[in-house]
Amino acid sequence: MLERLLKREGLAIAAGTMLLYTSVYFFERGYCTHLNIPLDYIEISIPTIANDVMYSLFLIFPIAVISMVIMIAGERNEYKGRYAFSPFYCWLVYTVVFFYFMEHTWGNAFTSFFLGGLFFMQITPTEKKEDKPSLIKIYHSSFVRVIMGMFLLSTTFVIYGNSFAAKTSFDTYTQNGKKFALLKVYGENVFMQEIVDGKRVSEITYFNSKNMSGMALNSN
């Protein structure tokens, strides 16, 4: 009994760790894509994970809590009457919350609605049938759900990272009379954009953290 429990806990921890690293990577990928930072420089470190988790809580927490409350209420009422639409309500929750963090365009509205539909497919309980399905059908159904779940996870965090980069404000530094906006730091790799006439130029300026002596942080 103890061995089975430990195996299940170990599997849950492994799955949770994988999802965490995957979410952070795709968030960083979306962030870097928007700012034209080379994707090969992405590093998943403890500070990166901590920051991205903190940023992502604003998206994940309302979706998770509201959906959980809706689905628990639906299960207690055996998904009868209005509770039969519980997964659909979660679809709307995902769509509205995700769209809130994006630029409000028709294209993004459609994207949010589509991803909400994938979320709906993930949380919709399977129908109970009298005839026991074959193992092939069970594995096929599980495989399809996993693929859809991974697509939902990756697309959600790439888009969220992209939207976050578009809305965030950056610390500014001055060196040799030039002003730079700090975009991202990966280990010793520092990525900045020069600010000219109050606007960031499109080119990315790369620094090694060891060679940044004399760079002063500007107070906002």
Residue with tokens 């919709």: 124
Confidence of residue 6 (pLDDT cuts 50, 70, 90): very low
Check if the beta carbon of residue 166 is closer than 8 Å to that of residue 34: yes
In whole angstroms, what is the distance from residue 220 CA to residue 201 CA?
Answer: 20
**What is the arithmetic mean of pLDDT over 89-100?**
94
Burial (Cβ within 10 Å: 0-12, 13-18, ≥19) of residue 142: exposed
Q: E strands within the chain?
A: 172-175, 178-186, 189-196, 199-200, 205-208, 216-217
Task: Please report the pLDDT score of residue 174 as a whole number.
Answer: 85
Does residue 208 or residue 21 have the better pLDDT? 21
User: Where along the chain do its domains lie?
Assistant: 2-167, 172-217
In whole angstroms, what is the distance from residue 62 CA to residue 69 CA?
Answer: 11
**What is the arithmetic mean of pLDDT over 47-69?**
92
What rounded mean pLDDT belongs to the chain? 84
Structure confidence by residue, pLDDT tens digits, 122-166: 888 766 655 666 677 777 777 888 888 899 999 999 999 999 998
